[in-house]
Structure 1
Amino acid sequence: MTAELVTEVGAAPEAPTRGRQVRRRLFADRMAMTGLVVAVVMIVAAITAPLLIHLEGQDATTYHPELLNSARGGVPRGAFGGASGAHWLGVEPTTGRDLFARALGGAQISFVVAIGTLVVQLLLGVGIGLAAGLGGKIADSFLGRLIDLSISFPQLIFAIALLAIVPGDFPRPLLLMMVIGLFGWGGTARLVRGQVLSLRTRDYVAAARLSGAGRARIALREILPGVSAPVLTYAALLLPSNMISEAGLSFLGVGVRPPASSWGQMLSTATTWFQADPTYVLVPGLLLLVNVLAFTLLADGLRTALDPRAGLRAGRR
């Protein structure tokens, strides 16, 4: 009889899983989806930069002095920085290098450094945060003070000093990843430590401990899944922050060096030309602004999708 009723009425609809709920809320957030689309477009453009530059028919290192107005000190001829069918975004003042190719090269540097730095920050931050939260009082006290020291450390000054003394033949993108990552893991570690201190008192963690599971097993099997959501949201915010850090260090002359291009380096050079031709300032400046805004919107939407109550609390403020 029961089987017949089930056959006639049909099975009860399956409750949506947490993953489906998160995706549904994220896709319903228009601002987050706009940020996601822009971020994906920029990442694809950075990955396919060699192909796009080849389609334009230019490169980032060839000088084009014939496109410059020597009477005005090397300003590009024509409107919008000398933009044309051959040079889609114009050329660079004083050198005539193609601005489209250099902007895409800057996108590659920016994403490589930002993502590589994020990996360093997550590895150090999550590892030290787990160790502090699951360790004893002595370990927690020591690692907690280390986290506080990392957060309060004058990162910019030491990063500039360290980058300035490293030999020039050392790969600058790799050096930037190491320096920014080593100085920027404290926030992740503090977040993870706080989450671990809350989760380690849960019943399922106590059950795992009573069953004989070691600290490593508890950290990986029981604690880490519960920490993943806030860490993922924080990582989405760290990525644009890392892009700004790379651009800022390159702007100050201690980051990426020519002939490699960087948006910060381009902005530094453009400060002497913005009155004569603002195009050279607008291109890297707008690209940096759009990327940072896109990832920030995506991170905010991801935070709300993972924890709707956090979004409601933020809306009431």
Structure 2
Amino acid sequence: MSELVAEIGDPGAPAPGSPTRARQVLRRLRSDRPAMAGVVVTTVLVLAAVFAPLLAALEGQDTTTFHTQLLDSARGGVPRGALGGVSADHWLGVEPTTGRDLFARALYGARISFTVAFGTLVVQLLLGVVIGLAAGFGGRLVDATLGRLIDLAISFPQLMFAIALLAIVPQSFPRPVLLMLVIGLFNWGGTARLTRGQVLSLKSRDYVAAARLSGAAPARIALREILPGALPQVLTYAAILLPANMVSEAGLSFLGVGVHPPTSSWGQMLSTATTWFRADPMYVLVPGLSLLTAVLAFTLFADGLRAALDPKASLRGGR
């Protein structure tokens, strides 16, 4: 996590929110082909998740209907036909043992994966930005106290405690909401550390000193003068966190403490597909490649956004 924070770089040029600055960032981003490819792919995937009911209806299938007639009972429930039962009625085939349509389940699985990733990001930004802003702008005692809290959050054995917490919460609690809270509460430290570093750098700027001399309240200075200057780097880091959140959700669902059937997510689908990778590779490839594509696309976009926001990116070669 700390390596990602260090990679983001300087706190940005003056007037980060100005139209000129915005145009420069947009121009650099447009000239970055991998980043734009990431934007296109993520847009397509997000739209597919949003319009999952329409796309599933276009195929003529849903996520819950069992098509047992398409399974070979003599082989333990493996789908009949090539590529896991791919046909005009089932575009990506069907699940072993149940016969549920894979295309529909992958679409609805994308909904869960994206919802949890974005919801977790909101929790991380709220906690990280507020605590980081308070640590960087507060006095020495406040900074020391919150700094130790941030260090504790970063060094905390997150996976172990997340699994334990998810396992003991009653099943009646909505699992996607629970995943957002658990992943977010255990992964806000990097955002807080980045925000604190940006605030410490920005609060010594001349325009902040001028705001103090004008008699502005500390809260106003923090929110109106310092926070806008820190936001570009925070948002860049948020773009890096999104694919990490998707992997966290998939990992927890894969371990059996995330969403449970009949609700589908890519991680949950991979969890049930591991015993079928020899008999029905499509059952593993559909959620696996979907997750890989989404994470790669978000990562390419995040890397391009970081380079576009860094005024020295073109001098480092490659962008």
1:176 aligns with 2:179: yes
Give me the whole-angstrom Cα distance separating, in 2, the residues matched to 1:231 and 1:87: 42
Q: Which residue of 1 aligns with 2:227?
A: 224
Q: Which residue of 2 aligns with 1:55?
A: 58
Q: Which residue of 2 aligns with 1:128?
A: 131
Q: Deviations over 1:202-232 (max 9, x none)?
A: 1110110111111110111110111011111
Give me the whole-angstrom Cα distance separating, in 1, the residues matched to 2:264 and 2:214: 56
Q: Is the CA contact (8 Å cut-off) linking 1:121 and 1:182 kept in structure 2? A: yes
Q: Which residue of 2 aligns with 1:289?
A: 292
With normalisation by structure 1, the TM-score equals 0.93
Q: Deviations over 1:165-184 (max 9, x none)?
A: 00000000000000000001
Q: Which residue of 1 aligns with 2:9?
A: none
1:311–1:143: structure 2 CA closer, same or farther, 3 Å change rule? farther
Q: 1:67 aligns with which of 70, 74, 86?
A: 70
1:119 aligns with 2:122: yes
Q: Which residue of 2 aligns with 1:95?
A: 98
Q: 2:147 aligns with which of 144, 147, 152?
A: 144
1:139–1:314: structure 2 CA closer, same or farther, 3 Å change rule? farther
Structure 1 residues 21-36: aligned runs within 5 Å: 21-36=24-39
With normalisation by structure 2, the TM-score equals 0.93
Structure 1 residues 1-317: aligned runs within 5 Å: 17-310=20-313, 312-313=315-316
1:312–1:246: structure 2 CA closer, same or farther, 3 Å change rule? farther
User: Which of the pair has more CA radius of gyration?
Assistant: 1
Aligned partner of 2:61: which letter? Q
Unpaired stretches in structure 2, ≥5 consecutive residues: 1-17
1:185–1:16: structure 2 CA closer, same or farther, 3 Å change rule? closer
Task: For residue 132 of structure 2, give the secondary structure of its aligned residue in structure 1.
Answer: helix
Aligned-pair CA distance for 1:282: 0.4
Aligned-pair CA distance for 1:308: 3.4
1:312–1:285: structure 2 CA closer, same or farther, 3 Å change rule? farther
Q: Is the CA contact (8 Å cut-off) linking 1:303 and 1:311 kept in structure 2? A: no
Aligned partner of 2:168: which letter? I
Aligned partner of 2:110: which letter? A
Aligned-pair CA distance for 1:16: 7.2
Q: Is the CA contact (8 Å cut-off) linking 1:46 and 1:107 kept in structure 2? A: yes
| Residue-pair matches, total | 302
Aligned partner of 1:209: which letter? R
Unpaired stretches in structure 1, ≥5 consecutive residues: 1-14
Task: For residue 92 of structure 1, give the secondary structure of its aligned residue in structure 2.
Answer: coil
Aligned-pair CA distance for 1:310: 4.1
Aligned partner of 1:162: which letter? L
The structure, 1 or 2, with the larger RCO (C-alpha pairs under 8 Å, 6+ apart) is: 2
Aligned partner of 2:219: which letter? A
Give me the whole-angstrom Cα distance separating, in 2, the residues matched to 1:98 and 1:278: 15
**Percent identity of the aligned residues?**
77
Aligned partner of 2:111: which letter? Q
Give me the whole-angstrom Cα distance separating, in 2, the residues matched to 1:265 and 1:310: 39
1:311–1:170: structure 2 CA closer, same or farther, 3 Å change rule? farther
Aligned-pair CA distance for 1:277: 1.2
